[in-house]
């Protein structure tokens, strides 16, 4: 059974750095047909893709947030970490990680998803 | 950057009725890269359809996907009470803005 679980702080202050961890099980982060993405969803709003990491350690970032994001993986720990610098109240959202299926160089689908973690940015 | 436009924004129907949700891409895409998700309040999205028309594991056959090029459709043949939720289409790293399916 494939599972993903997000962990990290639920409250961060403006200008701080947010670090979130996605712990996976049931699949390998070295599988060339799979990857892991981070997606967020502000309260009452739509899904927004943030970052993706491939098995070969290649990375992709949302153009609008690229300067603030870093994604990395620790295969031995089955973990994918997302860091976001200089957070703002507008970054308040539920953050999800999801396994991706890769065909060619592109993601075909996100499945499954973790349960998500609500992160609030407030002083 | 890919753009996906979903319509309608909100769809009000009754249980037993047929629902038709639309997703339009800004440019022609391969069906391989079009997926649909269902999200209920307080839950993570769940994959329904991938490859534009293939049902994910465990998804009832009342859910079907179709389309090609720039126009894609998610159809729910007979609505069950548990189908009222928000639905998103996805292409590559882009999600549509969602269609809320509500009880009439």
pLDDT tens-digit map of B54-72 = 999 999 999 999 999 999 9
Q: State chain A's mean pLDDT as an integer.
A: 97
> To the nearest whole percent, how much of chain A has pLDDT over 90?
98
Q: How far apart are CA B42 and CA A93, in angstroms?
A: 12
Q: How far apart are CA A53 and CA A25, in angstroms?
A: 16
Interface contact A46-B97, CB threshold 8 A: yes
A108 closest CB neighbour out of B33, B44, B45: B33
Interface contact B33-A113, CB threshold 8 A: no
Q: Which residues pair with A38 in a beta bridge?
A: A51, A97
pLDDT at residue B76, as a whole number: 98
- Find the angle CA(B26)-CA(B87)-CA(A35) to the nearest 5 degrees: 75
Q: How far apart are CA B12 and CA A85, in angstroms?
A: 41
Kindly give, in sequence order, each residue whose CB lies less than 8 Å from that of residue B42, ignoring residues fewer than 6 positions away.
none
Q: How far apart are CA A37 and CA A82, in angstroms?
A: 9
Identify the closest residue of chain B to A44 by CA–CA distance.
Answer: B41
Tell whether the model's pLDDT for residue B1 goes beyond 80.
no
- Residue A21 buriedness (CB in 10 A; 0-12 / 13-18 / 19+): middle
Cβ contact B39:B88 at 8 Å: yes
pLDDT band at A105 (very low <50, low <70, confident <90, very high): confident
If you average pLDDT over residues A1-7, what whole number do you get? 97
pLDDT at residue A101, as a whole number: 95
pLDDT tens-digit map of A9-27 = 999 999 999 999 999 999 9
Cβ of residue B2 closer than 8 Å to a chain A Cβ: no
Tell whether the model's pLDDT for residue A88 goes beyond 90.
yes
pLDDT at residue A104, as a whole number: 85
Q: How far apart are CA A1 and CA B26, in angstroms?
A: 36
If you average pLDDT over residues B84-93, what whole number do you get? 97
Cβ contact A6:A22 at 8 Å: yes
pLDDT tens-digit map of B8-58 = 999 999 999 999 999 999 999 999 999 999 999 999 999 999 999 999 999
């Amino acid at each position: 059974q494939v599972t993903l679980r997000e962990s990290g702080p639920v409250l961060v202050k403006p200008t701080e750095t947010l670090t979130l961890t996605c712990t996976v099980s049931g699949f390998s982060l070295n599988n060339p047909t799979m990857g892991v993405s981070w997606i967020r969803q502000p309260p009452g709003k739509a899904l927004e893709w943030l970052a993706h990491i491939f098995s070969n350690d290649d990375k992709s970032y949302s153009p609008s947030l690229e300067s603030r994001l870093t994604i990395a993986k620790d295969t031995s720990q089955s973990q994918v970490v997302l860091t976001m610098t200089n957070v703002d109240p507008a970054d308040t959202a539920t953050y999800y990680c999801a396994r991706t299926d890769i065909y060619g160089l592109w993601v075909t689908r996100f499945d499954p998803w973790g349960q998500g973690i609500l992160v609030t940015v407030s002083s | 950057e890919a753009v996906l436009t979903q319509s309608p924004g909100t769809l009000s129907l009754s249980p037993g009725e047929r629902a038709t949700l639309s997703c339009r891409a800004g440019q022609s895409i391969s069906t391989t890269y079009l997926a649909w998700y269902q999200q209920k309040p307080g839950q993570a999205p769940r994959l329904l359809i991938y490859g534009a028309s293939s049902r994910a594991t465990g998804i009832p056959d009342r859910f079907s996907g179709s389309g090609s090029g720039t126009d894609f459709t998610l159809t729910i043949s007979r609505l069950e009470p548990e189908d009222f939720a928000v639905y998103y289409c996805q292409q590559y790293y882009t999600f549509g803005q969602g269609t809320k399916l509500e009880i009439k």
